[in-house]
Amino acid sequence: MWRKWLTGAVLCVAPMLGLQAQTTASGNKTSLIEAWLSMPNVGQVAWPYAFIRARSTDATEKRRRSDLFDQFKQLQWRLKRQGYPGLVKAVHQWQIQLAKTHHYRQPGDWSPAWLMAHPNQQPPVSRVAAIGYCRVPDTVQVWDAVGVHRVAWQPGLRLSDLLRRDPNLKGGSTDEVALVSPSGHVDHYGVAAWNYADTELTPGMRIVGAIDLKGAVFPWMRDAIADLVAHMPVGRKCRSFPLGQSANHG
């Protein structure tokens, strides 16, 4: 399905390259569309799992992560004093998982088709550090009160299926979990009787719960994690291509 989508996008874009994307004398690309179409193996890209890294995003998200880790440290101390060793371990797992990311992406749909439909919203290539893509994953990722783990994805998998299987996936005081789409869009879904909402899950989706204790810090932490996760590429065997340089693998 994604290959058919890509073929259509490429066929639509190609006739307009002469108008929208010119190459400078130095060989640098002057449009994101041209950068995508010049990438090796572009025909294999599943666009929901493609990403760009903006030059300003990486530093901003690393600062936010550092601030969140400071909050983790204080929270672990409080949870340990109050007698919640399991939750202390869960917070430690969250931190380990978040620390694995070395470069953050800019969330959004940056496919050639989207860029063609939104010409005024194309980021300047000078602000893009790299473009890349990941292979479609076969799992979804769950952040719950015992840590971080993956669940095998299958067609028709729904949020309600996870909630039945995982008693540790809670909504905290707001009775909501955060769902992060492959492109980095964050939604909240109710998990209590009064606000219950269900949805189908796509491969690579991240589901972030909140510790089910009193206090505004836990929903805030859920959303802070979801925001960081939204800036992390998702999928298998991710490849990145610094603009004007050779490819990196990650």
pLDDT value of residue 161: 97
Mean of pLDDT values over 140-162: 97
pLDDT value of residue 23: 35
Of residues 12 and 217, more confidently modeled: 217
Give the model confidence (pLDDT) of 42-59 as tens digits: 988 999 999 999 878 999
Mean of pLDDT values over 226-233: 98
129 has a pLDDT exceeding 90: yes
Residue 10 banded pLDDT, cuts 50, 70, 90: very low
Residue 15 banded pLDDT, cuts 50, 70, 90: very low
Using alpha carbons, list the distances in angstroms from residue 250 to 41, 214, 233, 237. 16, 39, 10, 6
Q: Determine the Cα–Cα distance for residues 228 and 149; give it in Å rounded to an integer.
A: 17
Residue 7 banded pLDDT, cuts 50, 70, 90: very low
Sheet holding 128-135, edge to edge: 50-54, 128-135, 236-242, 248-249
CB-CB neighbours of 130 under 10 Å:
22
Mean pLDDT of the chain: 87
- Find where tokens 């399991």 sit: 86
The domain locations on the chain are 2-54+106-134+237-249, 56-104+136-234
Q: Determine the Cα–Cα distance for residues 87 and 100; give it in Å rounded to an integer.
A: 20
**Signed CA dihedral, 103, 181, 68, 166: sign only:** negative
Among residues 27, 80, 11, which one has the least CA distance to residue 243? 27
Percentage of the chain lying above the pLDDT 70 cut: 86
Query: What tokens were used for 24?
Result: 């400078």
**Signed CA dihedral, 29, 33, 35, 39: sign only:** negative
pLDDT value of residue 123: 87
Among residues 133, 141, 110, 111, which one has the least CA distance to residue 203? 141
Q: Determine the Cα–Cα distance for residues 154 and 152; give it in Å rounded to an integer.
A: 7
Mean of pLDDT values over 122-131: 90
81 has a pLDDT exceeding 70: yes
Out of 157-166, 212-221, 226-235, which region has the weakest mean confidence (pLDDT)? 212-221
Q: How far is CA 60 from the centre of its chain?
A: 16
CA atoms within 13 A on the CB side of 150: 12
User: For the chain, what is the radius of gyration of the CA atoms?
Assistant: 20
Domain 56-104+136-234, CATH class in plain words? alpha beta
CB-CB neighbours of 131 under 10 Å:
24
List of E strands, the chain: 50-54, 128-135, 139-144, 147-152, 176-180, 186-190, 206-208, 236-242, 248-249
Note the pTM of the prediction, 2 decimals: 0.86
